[in-house]
């Protein structure tokens, strides 16, 4: 088996792996990204809402809160600088029931604690003057002007370009199958058509759904006893006709997801979803990403709570994604698990596990965070 040596290996070329690799490359590290698929961002990074989250929901001080707020600011700046389309179209979080309306001040306080800018709360009537298609049942709305949408695929290409401009490489069809900790770094073994062994001073495991499996396949690395991945599938539907709103419309959230929301993408298409379906504990990746047309019922019901004008027959199954979670149904939403040498004591190894939403928004901040964990030379 052929052997190579390099400075840093990043496993996985999704949004997070690419952003980490870019940050390390900018810090002067020699980076190789190993990707199992034949292209960048073919998994969760291309199966999401493409929403730039403000950072409203996450407990103050959590990694999600800190990295989302910082990542959002960095992402808007990055898109501006690199000519990537991004639009801070704003977001309404709408409360329909008494219980939802009572929860709005708590959400506002949490978002303010996270230092989200320019928030306000308006009545349903005020909201309907701005977005006339909103239901008369909407009683209260949290307004977040800094939430937005962007062209995530242009973003991924730009990250790849920056990595390569700095002498780094993104290598496809090269799945990492196992590894071991050595005295001066780590050694990885790849599968695929031409298996190789690669020695690296540092390894960043950003393998998305497979990250926990990969961590456990590294001999001498942390094994995370008791940790179990749970999967929540989110299916999307597209709605025909002109977009009914000019902002993102989100219901008040629940613990598994941010609620079945409505977004209008940069091309003006109306997207409804994702819903939240806990997959059976026996299911593991690769996932079935087909969208069950029967889930349209639920989509109509949820969306009509805030958009009663959604016509019968207007929606069609679109695509789906799967959220990687380390908590189970009914439990409080977990945080990102970013586990570096300061915690597990293996020099040069960082595992990124359960990087669910808002991972896309947070990606640039995660990149800088991981670079910091490695104590750049």
Q: What is the DSSP string of 152-202?
A: HHHHHHHHHHHHHHTT-EEE-S--EEEEEEETTEEEEEE-SSS-EEEEEEE
Work out whether 146 is an interface residue with ligand FAD (CB under 6 A): no
Distance CA 66, CA 368 (A): 12
Task: Give the residue, chosen from 42, 62, 137, 238, that forms a contact with ligand FAD under the rule CB under 6 A.
Answer: 42
Burial classification of residue 128, based on how many CB atoms lie within 10 Å of its CB (0-12 exposed, 13-18 middle, 19 or more buried) = middle
- Please identify the residue of the shown chain whose CB is closest to the bound ligand FAD: 359
Nearer to ligand FAD, 185 or 273 (CB): 273
Nearer to ligand FAD, 11 or 262 (CB): 11
Nearer to ligand FAD, 127 or 204 (CB): 204
Which of these segments, 59-67, 94-102, 238-246, 318-326, binds ligand FAD (CB under 6 A)?
318-326
Work out whether 90 is an interface residue with ligand FAD (CB under 6 A): no
* Cα atoms in the Cβ-side hemisphere of radius 13 Å centred on 366: 34
Which of these segments, 14-22, 117-125, 238-246, 301-309, binds ligand FAD (CB under 6 A)?
14-22
Nearer to ligand FAD, 13 or 140 (CB): 13
Choose among 50, 21, 45, 48: nearest CA to 33: 21
Q: Which two tokens stand for residue 375?
A: 């104590």
Task: Give the residue, chosen from 23, 49, 135, 158, that forms a contact with ligand FAD under the rule CB under 6 A.
Answer: 49
Contact flags string 220-259 toward ligand FAD, x per CB under 6 A: --------------x-------------------------
Distance CA 186, CA 8 (A): 10
Q: Which two tokens stand for residue 350?
A: 């960082």
Task: Give the residue, chosen from 8, 9, 10, 17, that forms a contact with ligand FAD under the rule CB under 6 A.
Answer: 17
Work out whether 271 is an interface residue with ligand FAD (CB under 6 A): no
Distance CA 377, CA 368 (A): 14
Work out whether 214 is an interface residue with ligand FAD (CB under 6 A): yes
Distance CA 112, CA 119 (A): 8
Residues engaged in binding ligand FAD (CB under 6 A): 11-17, 34-37, 41-45, 47-51, 53, 175-176, 206-210, 214, 234, 274, 321-323, 355-361
């Amino acid at each position: 088996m052929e052997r190579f040596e390099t400075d840093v290996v990043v496993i996985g070329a999704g949004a997070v792996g690419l952003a980490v690799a870019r940050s390390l490359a900018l810090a002067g590290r020699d980076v190789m990204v190993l990707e199992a698929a034949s292209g960048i961002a073919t998994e969760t990074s291309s199966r999401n809402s493409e929403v730039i989250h403000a950072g409203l929901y996450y407990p103050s001080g959590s990694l999600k809160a800190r990295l989302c707020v910082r990542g959002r600011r960095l992402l808007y700046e990055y898109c501006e600088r690199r000519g990537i389309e991004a639009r801070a179209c704003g977001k309404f979080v709408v409360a329909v029931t008494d219980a939802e309306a009572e929860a709005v001040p708590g959400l506002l306080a949490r978002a303010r604690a996270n230092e989200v800018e320019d928030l306000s709360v308006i009545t349903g009537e005020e909201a309907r003057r701005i977005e006339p298609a909103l239901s008369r049942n909407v009683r209260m709305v949290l307004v977040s002007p800094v939430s937005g949408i962007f062209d995530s695929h242009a973003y991924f290409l730009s990250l790849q370009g920056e990595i390569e401009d700095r002498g780094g490489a993104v290598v496809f069809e090269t799945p990492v199958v196992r590894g071991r900790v050595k005295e001066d770094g780590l050694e990885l073994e790849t599968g695929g058509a031409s298996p190789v062994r690669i020695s690296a001073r540092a390894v960043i495991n950003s393998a998305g759904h497979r990250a926990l499996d990969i961590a456990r396949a590294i001999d001498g690395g942390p094994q995370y006893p008791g940790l179990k991945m749970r999967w929540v599938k989110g299916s999307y539907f597209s709605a025909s006709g002109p977009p009914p709103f000019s902002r993102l419309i989100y219901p008040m959230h629940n613990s598994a997801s941010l609620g079945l929301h409505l977004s209008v993408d940069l091309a003006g298409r109306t997207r409804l979803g994702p819903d939240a379906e806990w997959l059976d504990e026996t299911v593991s990746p690769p996932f079935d990403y087909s969208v069950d047309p029967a889930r349209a019922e639920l989509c109509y019901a949820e969306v009509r709570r805030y958009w009663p004008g959604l016509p019968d027959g207007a929606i069609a199954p679109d695509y789906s994604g799967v959220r990687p979670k380390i908590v189970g149904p009914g439990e409080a939403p977990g945080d990102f698990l970013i586990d570096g040498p300061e915690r597990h004591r293996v020099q040069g190894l960082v595992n990124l596990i359960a990087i669910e939403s808002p991972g896309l928004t947070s990606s640039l901040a995660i990149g800088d965070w991981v670079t910091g964990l490695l104590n750049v030379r």
